[in-house]
Amino acid sequence: METPFAIEITPSLGMNSALNPGQIPAGSHRLALDACLKSVDTIGKRPGSVPVTTSALGASISYLVSYKSAASSVAPDLFAVSGNTLYKYSASALTAQTMTNAFTSSSVFGVGYTDYADASNLLLTSGGSLQQYTGTVVKNVVPAADDITPLPANKLSTINGRGLKYIWVFTGHVFVSDGSDLMWYSKRYHYDYFPGDVQYFRFIADNDYVTGPGISFGGLCLIPMRRHWGVITGETFDDGVSTNVPFKANQYLNTSNGNISSRGFAKITYPTGQQTVAYLSDNGVNEIYDTGIDNVETSGTRQYSTRNLMDNKIDFNKYGFTDAEKSAAVASFDGINGRFLMAIDRDTTHYVFVYDTQNQEWYVWRLPWSTKYLTEFNGAMYMGNTTGHVHTFKDDLYTDWDQAAKTSGTTVKMEIATGLLSAEFTGESSYWHYLIVEAQMWGVPSSLDYKIVYGAGSISVDHALQTEVFVWNVTAWNEGQWANIQYTDNVNQAKRRKIHKKGKYLQVFFKNYRDEPITILRYRLEGTSSGIGG
């Protein structure tokens, strides 16, 4: 006797390429390309993007940094680096700043710093001398005169000669590193005095070396290194007095998965308020987290560990990224939408791996250009690309536009696919009869294509589901659907789409390759089982 069945699915989960297709739970996807979590228990097309600058620079934008020039209510500004020049963004334009001393390379790192005299500077490194942006010019930092007592001589000039790659701030000190196992830190609340004989650290385990600027986390300073994460603890050591509590270094986080990219890590915040540091390692994206355990033997020091965020989700190795491609990856956290974004290129394909902290799932985006930097600024995610423009994502766009005028671009091609769905596990085929899809309705052109793969073939129907609200004398015939706009949300009048095919498994593909919005709320499959083995 054939038994009716119904499978109702809320498509809230992301992409899973790690498990075999029969293991993937309902609600997750074998493919989730250019898709994202739109609201709880839904999936839809990711936002498109557009330049915020009207004229492109002649070279890629390799770095973006926001800088607040005063501690008052002055709003921060956005700055960009292209070639060996710093540019200020304002009124849809990038204006070159005076470069008294040009950058040594386009690989620039910076940090805003207010010193003991309440003077604000943007401090910068690019592989040469320590530099500062004063609000008008970029120039090399002039080393302060030596203290008569108590500090040793200022060694900034000597340190500059090593070629400074990275810069960060911890407990009022400026830290710099040349990318070796060495780092130096300044006199507290000063950026122009580095007592080089005493205020430096080396992390020498396993021939390790620094791979990016340090990051403050849980009262520690974490140092990204190629094979480990170094740890600096303590408050201050700026006067050469031995009775003062110094920094402690040469400790390592308990991990063998080091950081591979100088721009491939970021602090992220979950909806619960928990913070972690997500970073790219050889085996994909990992995160550093607080275990919640105190180590009594070290006077109550918090214990931190790492875990792989892609385990059982993304088969990162199958992409075949080279070490050079991994090293060039860039990452940032979008605090507005709760997303960690990591942009990485594989030959000519420009991926963005998106980790949504709301459901802890992954989505894979593809951009038409190589992204060189990502940063959040004024509540939006900004990108520096090979286009020479500064771009941003916008929820009401469904194309990646090449110009601010939106005259040409690449349509966002959303494609999602279920795992292998089965109604029974008897060795016999089931009869699949109907597909019902509930989706959001829009006041602009919108429709959804689907393909159903069954035991002996497939069914493909373009524009199968109309999700545009029909407006008389506006919407073309057969391009929209009547809707009751008195509902609090516009929802399509879901219809039963015929399948009437036989198969042990079924796989559903949804796609939209047009400049249109799409959000799927839920869908349902109805059929009858074989009745054998029941």
Using an 8 Å Cβ cutoff, are 381 and 365 in contact?
Answer: no
The closest of 398, 430, 420, 410 to 509, measured between CA atoms, is 420
Question: How confident is residue 205, by pLDDT bands cut at 50, 70 and 90?
Answer: confident
For residue 180, how many other CB atoms are within 10 A of its CB?
14
φ/ψ of 311, rounded to 5, equals -55, 130
**Radius of gyration from C-alpha coordinates of the chain:** 27
* H or E segment and range at residue 269: strand 265-269
CB crowding 6-36: b at 16 or more within 10 Å, else e: ebebbbbbbbbbbeeeeebeebbbbbbbbbb
- Please say if the pLDDT value at position 96 is more than 50: yes
For the stretch 347-352, contacts whose Cβ atoms lie closer than 8 Å and that sit 24 or more positions apart, written own/partner, are 351/319
As a dihedral over the C-alpha atoms of residue 328, residue 123, residue 163, residue 188, rounded to 10 degrees, the angle is -120
Instruction: Quote the mean pLDDT of the chain.
Output: 90
Using an 8 Å Cβ cutoff, are 460 and 435 in contact?
Answer: no
217, amino acid identity: F
Burial of 349 (0-12, 13-18, 19+ CB in 10 A): exposed
**174 vs 290, higher pLDDT:** 174
* H or E segment and range at residue 304: strand 301-308
Using an 8 Å Cβ cutoff, are 166 and 177 in contact?
Answer: yes
Could you write out the DSSP letters of every residue in 120-133?
Answer: EEEEEESSBS-EEE
Give me the pLDDT at residue 354, please: 98
SS3 317: helix
Omega prior to 246 cis, within 30 of 0: no
Q: In what order do the strands lie in the sheet with 301-308?
A: 265-269, 275-281, 284-295, 301-308
Mean pLDDT of 221-226: 94
Q: What is the per-residue pLDDT across 147-165, written as a single tens digit (0 to 9) for each? A: 877 678 899 999 999 999 9
**480 vs 381, higher pLDDT:** 381
Mean pLDDT of 99-108: 97
Lookup result for tokens 């070639």: 83
Q: What is the per-residue pLDDT across 415-465, written as a single tens digit (0 to 9) for each? A: 999 999 998 888 889 999 999 999 999 989 999 999 999 989 999 999 989
- CA 402 vs. chain centroid, Å, equals 21
Could you give the C-alpha distances from 107 to 166, 254, 273, 339, 355, in angstroms and in order? Answer: 10, 30, 33, 25, 26
Mean pLDDT of 225-253: 73
**12 vs 109, higher pLDDT:** 109
- β-pairing verdict for 98-99 and 137-140: parallel
- β-pairing verdict for 61-67 and 77-82: antiparallel
Q: Alpha-carbon distance 226 to 257, whole Å?
A: 8
Q: What is the per-residue pLDDT across 20-65, written as a single tens digit (0 to 9) for each? A: 988 898 889 999 999 999 988 999 999 999 999 999 999 999 999 9
**378 vs 397, higher pLDDT:** 397
Tokens of 461: 């129907």
- CA 209 vs. chain centroid, Å, equals 24
Mean pLDDT of 180-195: 92
- Please say if the pLDDT value at position 298 is more than 50: no
Q: What is the per-residue pLDDT across 130-150, written as a single tens digit (0 to 9) for each? A: 999 999 899 999 999 998 776
For the stretch 67-72, contacts whose Cβ atoms lie closer than 8 Å and that sit 24 or more positions apart, written own/partner, are 67/110, 67/112, 67/122, 67/133, 68/112, 68/120, 69/120, 69/135, 70/120, 71/114, 71/118, 71/120
Using an 8 Å Cβ cutoff, are 385 and 370 in contact?
Answer: yes
- Please say if the pLDDT value at position 74 is more than 50: yes
Question: How confident is residue 469, by pLDDT bands cut at 50, 70 and 90?
Answer: confident
173, amino acid identity: H
Alpha helices in 90-205 (DSSP H): 156-160
- Please say if the pLDDT value at position 236 is more than 70: no
Give me the pLDDT at residue 243, please: 55
